[in-house]
Structure 1
Amino acid sequence: MKKLPQLKEEYQQFLDNIPQYISEVKTILGKDTLSYSSDEVNEVQFYYHRNYAKLDEIGLDDLRKRVKAYFGTAWLWHFGGKWRLETHKGYDTYGAICIEEYGGTNYPWVAMDIQHWLNAVERGDLMENLGDSFARQQRYQNLSPEYVLTPVRNIQ
């Protein structure tokens, strides 16, 4: 188990490198800008699924960082929230990079560990594609005016 100072350093490096990771995803997809649409989220999911097993540990770690940055940024783009490092040693997500406080004021959010999404893609056990899940959540939010969203659109 990694110690908290090392986790905090890795977390800060991840946050600092999100713009670079997003830029790399743009290059991978051959796009000038990203829309974070459900189709694009699915495109990134399919790219990850096609490539994760072909890489050595270092290449896989780099791919995971890029895709985690993309999925997290896409979520923040639509539903708001903020990145957080899970530092509670009693949780099975200790050390995880999560998103919290999404969905608008008074929305009953639960911190999401994006690595769980990557693990589900790797295992092939998602109930629906991530982009479809994003679209379903968008429809729910549109029908729930009591949860006023504050999208985070600081990464293009």
Structure 2
Amino acid sequence: MPYWLMKSEPDEFSIHDLKKLGHGRWDGVRNYQARNFLRQMKEGDQFFFYHSSCAEPGIAGIGRISRSAYPDPTALDHASPYHDAKANDESNPWSAVDVEFVEVFASPLKLAQLKAQAALQDLALVKKGSRLSVMPVSADEWQAILAMR
């Protein structure tokens, strides 16, 4: 089973929001490589929920993909900050997935902690210049991160 890491600003959508809702739509991804990763996700895949652009960035919990990729409706919504003027009903280049809550960590695993783990040296998140909001995580990296909880 593939594993993933997905980033969200907690002021926008946090692991606590997902816990409260139980499920939600992961949308608004506007990077082609990250979009392509969304399109690879299958129902049942798990992901680390990473809080970014906040006081203490880190992995805050775990979610699961509950619906594989479909056209992102925010691209067509003129009121959405993720609206894409080039998208239309026939041609929408953006994708969304549905997610469900699995677990919130007692305390987030901070980026510095992740960078200090030799087993995570190849994790895209810890590499310099990595800015993707969606990225794959290997089975070994998944287990190494789980062991840090």
TM-score clears 0.5? no
Higher strand share: 2
TM-score calculated relative to the size of structure 1: 0.26
TM-score calculated relative to the size of structure 2: 0.27
